Amino acid sequence: MNKPLLYVFILAFVVSCGTEAKKSPNVFFAGEIINPTSEYVVLYKDEIVIDSAKLNQDNKFSMQLESVVEGLYHFNHQPELQYVYLEQGDSIMIRLNTEDFDESLIFSGRGKEINNFLLELFLSTEEEIPIAYSYSRLNPDEFANKIDSLRQLKVSILNVLQKEAKLSESAISMAQASIDYNYYNYKENYPFWHRHTSGSKTIPKLDDNFYSYRKNIDYNIDDLTYHRYYYNFLKTHFDNLTYMGCASNCNGEHIQIIEDKLHFNQHKLKLIDSLVNSKKIRDNLFRSVALYYLINVHDTENNIEEFISDFHKYSSNNKHIAEIEAVYEGVKNMQPNKKLPPVLVYDNGENKVSLQDIAAKEENAVFYFWSATQKGHFENIIQRVNELQKQKPEYTFIGINCNTEMMRWQSMLITNNLDLDYQYRTDDFENLKYTLVIGGLNKGIITKNGLIVDAYADLYRSF
């Protein structure tokens, strides 16, 4: 953690004093992508595409934007994305290497100061999470003191930066929110982390001072709807409130609360409905609850139907309703003894083949998934499949690659000595994800004579 924090501190002193006034309402956004994984860079405000630019022969791009709404944007270079904060008059250049996307990213030009600060805050937070988790074995007061000290260090750095770089009020507010909600999230996690790190069977009792920040929480900050720290805080906060509410008002013991997933998630929907008024934030939080329940809980069909009924009651006009319904249909279709859905994938000869037909040819099959962009996962999953092939010779293991260009995919198959007859790929992972209800790439789907045995197997835990 020290290196990124030190970098931010140095950055605060090297930015030029008296930054040139921003006169133009336009914004210039450009950069260079080393080892590109896509032809385009796409700029978003929330979920709306603002502009896109194709990389030239030197892997460079540029966008000229007119009269932008100042605030947090994100740029996407498939399959990665990162934030960029834009204000009128900014002229921002980025440079990054996709092999080390976030760590290699550098902002330069007018507007660089707030963006480099937010980036370094993100990087240091990634390193800090296990440290904060390790503090959770402490008692509540000691944990709070540790977390408050970490937060204050970031605040001090921001105070220096805003004096040196003359940040706008909106940029300062965004940076302050980035700091605050991250540390509030640690406190929301504390009781559950503490139960694990201390070995306790119960959640610790906390006085009101521990959550003193809660009296100032605004659940309806539309400008932060897609801010990672604010959104992560809200999700953890509602998990915490739901758990404590079930423990106090639903006569719930710890085991009952964690095992009764239907009740827990119904309770959470009701709580969100009672506290959040912002349409954008409500939609996103309801979506988060629904996707988690549908993809991860693997409940009975009757319970799933009851949950969906409640979801529609609280969020009938949710903008994500089509996505939720697609996953719901996928869950219904992935029940035991049903045929695998007829999703089309490509074989090594670029012929389209139905997963249903592939499964029907094998007495016992295990479908697994991998992506070329997650090299560590790919190496681990191939090693695990090799182990399982020796341990479970009665199964045929069939790999499905997610969104890798054909020639690169074929090269990886040959380089890693994978059997070409049992490897397929999709160029539409979104459809595959919803249809097969893929919550993570450790998922396996077990079939017998073309019928589903277990649609939610885990390659590391189910064999």
Residue pLDDT, tens place only, 15-27: 444 444 555 778 9
Q: Supply the Cα-derived Rg of the chain in whole angstroms.
A: 24
Per-residue pLDDT tens over the stretch 344-362: 999 999 999 999 999 999 9
Tell me, what's the pLDDT at 2? Answer: 47
Residue 32: pLDDT band (50, 70, 90) is: very high
Whether the per-residue pLDDT at 342 is higher than 80: the answer is yes
**For residues 194-205, average pLDDT:** 88
Better-predicted residue by pLDDT, 112 or 5: 112
Better-predicted residue by pLDDT, 444 or 248: 444
Better-predicted residue by pLDDT, 13 or 379: 379
Whether the per-residue pLDDT at 200 is higher than 90: the answer is no
Structure pTM? Answer: 0.85
User: How far is the C-alpha of 385 from the C-alpha of 26, rounded, in Å?
Assistant: 53
Whether the per-residue pLDDT at 67 is higher than 90: the answer is no
Per-residue pLDDT tens over the stretch 224-238: 999 999 999 999 999
Per-residue pLDDT tens over the stretch 388-443: 999 999 999 999 999 888 999 999 999 999 999 999 999 999 899 999 999 889 99
CB 40 within 8 A of CB 77: yes
Q: Residue for token digits 């694990």? A: 196
CB 72 within 8 A of CB 223: yes
Tell me the three state secondary structure of residue 391.
helix
CB 371 within 8 A of CB 378: yes
Per-residue pLDDT tens over the stretch 288-297: 999 999 998 8
Q: What are phi and psi of 17, to 5 degrees?
A: -75, 155
CB 364 within 8 A of CB 448: yes
Neighbours of 134 (CB within 10 A): 12
Better-predicted residue by pLDDT, 132 or 463: 132
Residue 138: pLDDT band (50, 70, 90) is: very high
User: How far is the C-alpha of 189 from the C-alpha of 147, rounded, in Å?
Assistant: 12
Structural domains of the chain ordered from first start: 20-110 (2.60.40.1120), 218-333 (no CATH), 344-458 (3.40.30.10)
Tell me, what's the pLDDT at 374? Answer: 84
User: How far is the C-alpha of 244 from the C-alpha of 289, rounded, in Å?
Assistant: 17
Full strand arrangement of the beta sheet holding 27-34: 60-65, 27-34, 91-97, 106-110
Residues 6+ apart with CB under 8 A from 367: 340, 355, 359, 398, 399, 400, 444, 445, 447
Residue 254: pLDDT band (50, 70, 90) is: low
Tell me, what's the pLDDT at 22? Answer: 53
Residue ranges in 15-139 assigned as alpha helix (H): 101-104, 112-135
Tell me, what's the pLDDT at 4? Answer: 46
The helix (H) or strand (E) run that includes residue 111 is: none
For the chain, the distance separating the N- and C-terminal CA atoms, rounded to the nearest angstrom, is 38
Q: What are phi and psi of 114, to 5 degrees?
A: -65, -35
Residue 242: pLDDT band (50, 70, 90) is: very high
